[in-house]
Amino acid sequence: MNKLLAAAFAAVSAITLAAPAIAQPYGDARHGGGYGYGLEGMGVKDAQVQLSNAGYTKARNIKINGRQFDLWANPRARDACVGFTSVSGRVTEARTFNNTDCGVVTGGGGRLDANQLHGMRVDDAKWNLQQYGYSHERNVRIDGKQWDLWVSSRGRECIGFTSRSGIVSGVQTYRASECAGDYGHGGGGGWRLDPRDLPGLSVDQAKRALSDAGFDKARNIHIRGKQWDLWYDDRGRDGGRCIGFTSISGRVTDADDFSPRDCY
């Protein structure tokens, strides 16, 4: 009987030794209990495939103490930012990084915390929005600032951000209808295009902003010693709304509200 048990144990051991190594997802003590996945010793291409299969996408490369690390991000993973360095095409070290190193934000319950976008590079903010299922809707000028509007895949949520020198300087959440251009004219709430936001824009940008706000080109008139492009929106009360702008060398120099009669 003992011989049979010994033989059975030897057979099981042989099967275990022959089985392929399975990468461990987390808890590798060599990396401080962080990201494991058994990347160390792998070929770089195999490591990239492993990360991709785990839901990570390439974020960027950074240099630390003269070594280049490939950073990969997955905002839904416990370790949202991981990276590896390699020599001669083989991974020599894998470790976790701060989320900011990857330019990634994390969201509780699968929801994006829009406030985490503040201070990020614009490209990183866009990447995070895409990762959480948002798509770019349009740009709009509000209170003298240009806002990028992004709407969720289900069309229920809208996030907008403004930037300065390539860095997100302001973040705001809106109703999805506002992203789509429902401005609530006539006292219904929402955005209301302010002519003061148009000066400084190119003529094409001004036309696009007016069109996005629901205005249609009405006509050109010469008034106040200037040539004005008049645009009309008939959705408001009291006969609608008329906005005009004047320009020099393709750039808006002045804009104002006009009487709706001027647009007729």
Q: Is residue 189 part of a domain?
A: no
Residues 161 and 120 in one domain: yes
pLDDT of 22 higher than 60 = no
Residues 127 and 87 in one domain: no
Q: Is residue 53 part of a domain?
A: yes
Alpha helices in the chain (DSSP H): 2-18, 44-53, 99-102, 122-131, 176-179, 203-212, 260-263
Last residue of a domain, one of 43, 67, 102: 102
Host domain of residue 202: 195-263
Burial 152-176 (b: 16+ CB within 10 A, else e): beeeebbbbbbbeeeebeebeebeb
Q: What's the number of domains the chain is made of?
A: 3
Q: Is residue 150 part of a domain?
A: yes
Q: Higher pLDDT residue, 19 or 100?
A: 100
* Distances 83 to 21, 73, 91, 210, 253 between C-alpha atoms, Å: 21, 9, 10, 46, 50
How does pLDDT run across 116-158, given as a tens digit for each residue?
Answer: 898 888 988 998 898 888 988 877 777 667 888 898 877 678 8
Q: Is residue 184 part of a domain?
A: no
Mean confidence (pLDDT) of the chain: 77
> Domain holding 162: CATH number?
3.30.1450
Cβ within 8 Å of residue 114, ≥6 positions away = 159, 171, 172, 173
How does pLDDT run across 57-89, given as a tens digit for each residue?
Answer: 898 899 988 999 999 988 778 888 899 999 999
Residues 138 and 67 in one domain: no
What backbone torsions phi and psi does residue 201 show, to the nearest 5 degrees? -75, 160
Least confident of 35-49, 60-74, 177-191: 177-191
User: Considering just the CA atoms, what is the radius of gyration of the chain in Å?
Assistant: 28
Residues 55 and 94 in one domain: yes
Cβ within 8 Å of residue 50, ≥6 positions away = 23, 37, 39, 42
What's this model's pTM, rounded to 2 decimal places? 0.51
pLDDT of 220 higher than 80 = yes
Beta strands in the chain (DSSP E): 26-28, 34-35, 57-64, 67-73, 81-87, 90-96, 134-142, 145-152, 157-164, 167-175, 216-223, 226-233, 241-248, 251-258
Cα–Cα distance measured from residue 66 to residue 221, given in angstroms and rounded to the nearest whole number: 65
Last residue of a domain, one of 46, 70, 102: 102
Q: How confident is the model at residue 191 (pLDDT cuts 50, 70, 90)?
A: low
Q: Is residue 12 part of a domain?
A: no
Q: Is residue 11 part of a domain?
A: no
